Structure 1
Amino acid sequence: MSDVSWVLLLLAFLLLDLVGCAKGVEIRELRVPPVALAGDEVRLVCDYEAEGGAPLYSLKWFKDGDEFYSFQPGRTSPPPDTRCSHYYTIPVDGVTVDCWVSSEREVVLKGVTVSTSGLYQCEVIGEHPTFRRKVQQKRLRVFSEPLRRPEIVGARTTYDPGSRLALNCTSLNTQYRPALSWTIAGKPVPEMSLRNYPGEVTLGLHLHLSPEVFRGGVVEVACTASLALHTASTTLALPNTHALKAQGYSYNAGVQKASCFVSGAIVVLFLLLPAHIY
């Protein structure tokens, strides 16, 4: 074939590729969690789509440029790790693939550690004749510090309906900044009642207490710290002033009633005694 023919063929192929007629595969979605805690199970998803019915030639995962997972539908030789069926796993520091649940679209990493942190890349290549290659990558960071319960400060001894509630919730974690959220009487707090403090991992709660939030004489507020799939909460039960007084009155009335009963019993016993005794 002449040089001119090769040039024309190449131009034709490029034109088909530009208008989308060339077959290949595309990565529709890449899911890599941005953060995780040591010991977590992490799921990496590379959802691809074949264009024009083009089959997949291979799918590979890389961590910091090192390949650790490979799937090739047309592969005939058995993989080194027979547990992985058609999937090859290659040892990489910090990466432990759970072959029992992984597939060509989802790779599960178990028992992640700080060394699991890195840049994860999914590569898909379409079948012959195009062998079009598509790549996407995202970063994962693993922390060793467990998520701690946040601290709530600013609570008073008692509250009345209509009184103002002003509390601050602060994360006690030092390696990372978890998301903080408030609930009152089990319901999320409106955005207008929250206060953010620049440069601090603190979320304030400022609102007037309505009678509806008091249940059984107390109003329950909770602050929750969240990171990835983890949550840790601190809950306070704030008593109502009138409820405490009512409880105190009932208690005192009971004591007084018992005292009167004992006195009456003594009088009756005295009257029933024989006259010669006294």
Structure 2
Amino acid sequence: MYSSESECRWHLIPISFSLSLSLSLSILADLVITLKDVRVSVPVAIKRGDNANLICHYDMEGAELYSVKWYKGKREFFRYTPKEIPALKSFVVAGLSVERPQSNGSHLTLMAVEPTATGKYSCEVSADLPSFDTMIVSSEMEVVDVPVTKPLITGIKQFYRIGDVVLGNCTSYNSKPAANLTWLLDDKKFSCIAKIHDVYEQRVDRWIEDERPKLMAASASPVGLNPVNYVHSIYDQSSAASSYHHHDGSDFDNQNSDAYMTQIQGNLMVEEI
């Protein structure tokens, strides 16, 4: 009898282990995250008055969608819940106007954006029962005031003699943020390019005649046929808020808090070839 009972115990232990292992695997399977690849496509910059298209990408991995919520900062302004009626809901947030016919569970359109729409936008995606998995991702958007006029080149004359110094100034007025300015030199043509993110780019050219200048030095850094940038980054608002010093010794103070001016000045040396 003792021997028989001993065998029985040895057989029961594997059975108990098998049941425990099966139960553990079942619990782990229920804990697997069903949401994957949640990300947002938000314009880095957009011009004032344009419509902004925001996209929330997600992979439900076979689970049912419970809701998609959009936030500006910490305030919810749009919600999509496919099992509710109505499925689309929008909430009042200052400076935001949702175009409902163009919005759904993945796409969202903001109409005629103003500078107050600048900020962080977040998309929160939630799966339905049993997991209720939730993921949230964010991205920044900036509403840009672009200049109404092209950049202005001053100080470059039409004719120069060998050995003359070419002193040129390029100015881009009234933008937010400040435009990024770049000088280009190509044979007898001087070019200034003003750019703000990928929403604004304007170029102006000036030609000189008779003598071909050979660039020796610049006030900020060496200049060749490649673009050279003389100004602060467009993200550096300190350049927009401070006073600018002209080459004639005078100061320019920005009197309009909503208007930003960038100014660059390069001293170009000409030598005899």
Determine if contact 1:23/1:126 at 8 Å carries over to the other structure.
Answer: no
d(CA) in 2 for partners of 1:14 and 1:170?
66
Higher helix residue share: 1
Determine if contact 2:145/2:177 at 8 Å carries over to the other structure.
Answer: no
Aligned-pair CA distance for 1:63: 1.3
SS at 2:101's partner residue?
coil
SS at 1:115's partner residue?
helix
Give the aligned partner of residue 182 of structure 2: 203
Structure 1: 5+ residue stretches without partners: 1-6, 80-85, 180-201, 210-218, 243-278
RMSD (CA atoms): 3.6
Q: Check if 1:37 corresponds to 2:76.
A: no
The letter of the residue matching 1:226 is K
Structure 2: 5+ residue stretches without partners: 1-19, 212-273
2:64 to 55, 63, 80: 55
The letter of the residue matching 1:60 is K
SS at 1:100's partner residue?
helix
1:64 to 70, 73, 79: 73
Matches within 5 A, 1:50-129: 50-51=60-61, 53-75=62-84, 77=85, 79=86, 86-129=87-130
Aligned-pair CA distance for 1:99: 1.6
Aligned-pair CA distance for 1:96: 0.2
TM-score (ref. length: structure 1): 0.55
d(CA) in 2 for partners of 1:110 and 1:240?
49
Matched-pair identity in %? 28
d(CA) in 1 for partners of 2:182 and 2:102?
39
Determine if contact 2:185/2:191 at 8 Å carries over to the other structure.
Answer: no
Instruction: Please tell me whether Structure 1 or Structure 2 has the larger radius of gyration of its CA atoms.
Output: 1
d(CA) in 2 for partners of 1:228 and 1:92?
26
Determine if contact 2:147/2:172 at 8 Å carries over to the other structure.
Answer: no
TM-score (ref. length: structure 2): 0.56
Q: Check if 1:236 corresponds to 2:205.
A: yes
The letter of the residue matching 1:46 is C
Matches within 5 A, 1:115-264: 115-144=116-145, 146=147, 148-158=149-159, 169-173=170-174, 175-179=176-180, 202-207=181-186, 209=187, 222-228=191-197, 230-236=199-205, 238=207, 240-241=209-210
CA-to-aligned-CA distance 1:189-216 (integer Å, 9 cap, x gap): xxxxxxxxxxxxx422245x1xxxxxxx
d(CA) in 2 for partners of 1:38 and 1:10?
58
Q: Rate the CA distance shift 1:71–1:228 in 2: closer, same or farther, 3 A.
A: farther
Q: Rate the CA distance shift 1:147–1:9 in 2: closer, same or farther, 3 A.
A: farther
Q: Rate the CA distance shift 1:60–1:167 in 2: closer, same or farther, 3 A.
A: same
Aligned-pair CA distance for 1:50: 1.8
SS at 2:141's partner residue?
strand
Aligned pair count reads 190
Aligned-pair CA distance for 1:166: 8.2
Q: Rate the CA distance shift 1:166–1:127 in 2: closer, same or farther, 3 A.
A: farther
d(CA) in 2 for partners of 1:146 and 1:174?
5
